Amino acid sequence: MNACPRDAEEKSLAEVFDLIGFGRFQLQLLIIAGCGFMADSIEVGVVTFLEQKIPEQWPEAEGWALNALSMSVFGTKLLGSCIWGSLSDHLGRRRAFLLANVFLLLTGCLSAAAPSYVSLVVVRGLVGLAIGGIVIPFDNLAESVPEKYSSLVCYAIEYFWTIGTLYANVLAAVVLETWGWRIYLLLTALPIFLACCGYIFLEESPMWLLDRGCDEDALATLRRIAAVNGQDLGNIALVSYTRETEPSCRELLAPSLRRQLVSLSVIWCLGLFGYYGASLASGFLFSSGGSMDYTEVLFTSCGEIVGTTAVLLTAWRFSAATVQPWCYFVSGIGCLAVLAAKLMNGPTILVAMLAFLVRAGSMGGSAATWVLTPAAFPTHIRSTAHSVLYTWGSAGSLLATLWPAKASTSVIMGSYALANLICVAMGLWQQRGLAPRGAFDSLLSDLHASNLERRARSSIARSSRLASRTASRTSTATGRPSNLSRPSWPLLPSRQIS
């Protein structure tokens, strides 16, 4: 509860964040969260290049045995996604972020010392388990910035995903052929090391603390954030509210959340199937005779910067629900164009340009999906919901690694195109059917938990508690029982679960 002077001015979380503004703390958080967010995109590059180099040391790694490397990473992400999201909702964003990144750093470094191919597959599987915590920094960022900057910052963190992709590709071009894959693996863990070091600058999500009923801790955290930004919050109090039950996956099946859960599950699964497929396609689009053209791989990867920038610029005028289907449409058409160019033996530069377009579209669609997800679920189950959806995305990324060695380009690229076009259909359903009904307003609602009813209840509840304590003291002094009783409504406004 708030232990504050009676004349303190009550403010919602959104109002406090407006007072704090966007400054040094948010930039620090963006960089630290971004370093952790790079893990997944780096792993895509690691898997792509390791599959090219590992057979040189262990010739027995071929066919399905070679596929086991990528399957172990993307398969264990399914389990990791469920674990870390739930931990984040129960332990807090800050502690779960540290646990996930330390585990990722240790397993990433251990894999560089793997004495055999089997041990490499096992340890990289543990890396995938840790990567499942990637949703934590994203949700913490979404909950810790002023409302008007929320979408922009959530789009901005996607640049770190792209930076991770470019980092893995440039590192491979510089290190892989000269120093070998073990040094390459050690250097790919550098961003995670920086994320672990950044833990000392992190604060717990004030929204999570307030949702847990830790009003004093939430206000103290906000004061520290304000101090970093050079602001003074003065004599204020937070509007109190708390949830009715502990976080549970069962709540995701409530009618009020079911539709966005279903639609986002399909988009996460097929959208990341298309994204990872486009990333891994570099292995057969630009390789010949056992060697790979890193220049063309790097060029197509730059398409992700264009895709992220495009959705970031549109954020000023269009919602993520509006932008999302258009991005997947561009990616789907691009996949068909790449297929046509390969079938007609088109020049490599044409294939590279079309693959650039595919990467731009799939990255833009993925960024919009990431931004939509935390907005669709209430705080107390936000990370749990995000992790469940990321599990579907991990399933899609796993499917992208299961192509038989003899699978034709037509089947592979055609499947990616179909997946993207299904995402277009689901995105249009979200845009026209769900968004107008407020399906993606949960984050906004939690930030503005200061409507007149809640504010009135909070004030009346505080006055009632004060009067009860006064009456109790009077009763003790006179020996007469007090006639005051507790109010009939809950002491703190609670969430209603449909």
Q: How confident is the model at residue 223 (pLDDT cuts 50, 70, 90)?
A: very high
For 99: left if phi > 0, alpha if psi spans -120 to 50, otherwise beta; the answer is: alpha
φ, ψ of residue 409 in degrees (nearest 5): -60, -35
For residues 301 and 166, the answer to whether their CB atoms sit within 8 Å is yes
Q: How confident is the model at residue 330 (pLDDT cuts 50, 70, 90)?
A: very high
Q: What is the DSSP string of 434-480?
A: IGGGTTT-HHHHHHT---HHHHHHHHHHHHHHHHHHHHHHHHHHHS-
Give the DSSP H or E segment for 291: strand 291-292
Q: How far apart are CA 345 and CA 356, in angstroms?
A: 18
**Tokens for 71?**
């399957």
Tens of pLDDT along 434-471?
656 555 555 555 555 543 334 333 333 334 444 444 44
The partner residues of 187 in beta bridges, in order of sequence, read none
- CATH architecture for residues 251-440: Up-down Bundle (1.20)
Tell me which fold the domain 11-241 belongs to. Growth Hormone; Chain: A; (1.20.1250)
- Fold agreement (11-241, 251-440): yes
Q: How confident is the model at residue 493 (pLDDT cuts 50, 70, 90)?
A: very low
Which of these ranges, 54-63, 212-221, 309-318, 370-379, has the smallest mean pLDDT? 54-63
**Which pLDDT score, from 0 to 100, does residue 3 have?**
47
Q: How far apart are CA 388 and CA 390, in angstroms?
A: 5
What is the number of other CB atoms lying within 10 angstroms of the CB of residue 181? 22
Residue ranges of domains in the chain: 11-241, 251-440
Average of per-residue pLDDT values in the chain: 77
Q: What is the DSSP string of 140-183?
A: HHHTSS-HHHHHHHHHHTHHHHHHHHHHHHHHIIIIITTT-HHH
**Which pLDDT score, from 0 to 100, does residue 291 have?**
61
Please give the biggest Cα pair distance in the chain: 97
Q: How far apart are CA 443 and CA 150, in angstroms?
A: 10
Over residues 55-83, mean pLDDT: 76
**Tokens for 304?**
């992700």
pLDDT at 143 over 60: yes
Tens of pLDDT along 155-205?
888 888 888 888 888 888 888 878 888 898 899 889 989 989 988 888 998
Q: What is the DSSP string of 322-386?
A: HHHHHHHHHHHHHHHHHHHHHHTT--HHHHHHHHHHHHHHHHHHHHHHHHHHHHTS-GGGHHHHH
Q: How far apart are CA 81 and CA 387, in angstroms?
A: 5
**Which pLDDT score, from 0 to 100, does residue 227 have?**
92
**Which pLDDT score, from 0 to 100, does residue 382 have?**
82
**Which pLDDT score, from 0 to 100, does residue 420 have?**
92
Q: How confident is the model at residue 226 (pLDDT cuts 50, 70, 90)?
A: very high
Tens of pLDDT along 79-138?
887 788 888 888 888 899 889 889 989 988 898 888 888 888 888 888 888 887 878 888
φ, ψ of residue 191 in degrees (nearest 5): -60, -35
Helix ranges restricted to H, 58-116: 64-91, 93-111
In sequence order, the 6+-apart residues with CB closer than 8 A to the CB of 485 are none
498: exposed, middle or buried (Cβ count in 10 Å: 0-12, 13-18, 19+): exposed
pLDDT at 366 over 80: yes
For residues 376 and 263, the answer to whether their CB atoms sit within 8 Å is no
Q: What is the pTM of this model?
A: 0.73
Q: How confident is the model at residue 418 (pLDDT cuts 50, 70, 90)?
A: very high
Tens of pLDDT along 235-278?
888 876 655 556 566 777 777 777 888 889 999 999 989 888 87
**Tokens for 275?**
């994204």
Helix 135-142 × helix 348-375 angle, to 10°: 60
Q: Whose structure tokens read 């995105």?
A: 427
Tens of pLDDT along 386-396?
888 888 888 88
**Which pLDDT score, from 0 to 100, does residue 486 have?**
28
Q: Look at the chain and count its residues.
A: 498
Burial profile 401-422: b = 16 or more Cβ within 10 angstroms, e = fewer: bebeeeeeeeebbebbbbbbbb
pLDDT at 289 over 80: no
